[in-house]
Amino acid sequence: MRICIVDAFTDRPFSGNPAGVLLLESAAFPDAERLQEIATEVNLSETAFAHPLPPGGEADWALRWFTPATEVDMCGHATLATAHVLHTTGRATGTVRFTARCGILTSTARPDGSLTLDFPTAPLREETAPPGLAEALGAEPVSVHDTGEHIGDLLVELRDEATVRALAPDFAALVAHSRRGIIATAAAEDPALGYDFVSRGFFPGVGIDEDPVTGSAHTALAPFWSARFGRDDLTGLQASARSGLVRTALRGGRTLLTGTAVTVIDGELLTTF
Cα distance between residue 143 and residue 128, in whole Å: 8
Give yes or no for residue 271 having a pLDDT over 90. no
Give the distance from CA 193 to its chain's centroid: 23
**Per-residue pLDDT tens for 154-213?**
999 999 999 999 999 999 999 998 889 999 999 999 999 999 999 999 999 899 999 999
The proportion of the chain whose per-residue pLDDT surpasses 70, expressed as a percent, equals: 100
pTM: 0.96
Cα distance between residue 255 and residue 235, in whole Å: 13
**Per-residue pLDDT tens for 227-270?**
999 999 999 999 999 999 999 999 989 999 999 999 999 999 99
> What positions carry a catalytic annotation?
46
The pLDDT score that the predictor gives to residue 4 is 98
Q: Does an H or E element contain 36, and which?
A: helix 32-42
Q: Could you give all domains of the chain from N- to C-terminal order, each with its CATH number?
A: 2-118+259-268 (3.10.310.10), 125-252 (3.10.310.10)
The pLDDT score that the predictor gives to residue 87 is 97
The pLDDT score that the predictor gives to residue 1 is 86
**Residue 131 CB partners (closer than 8 Å, separation 6+):** none
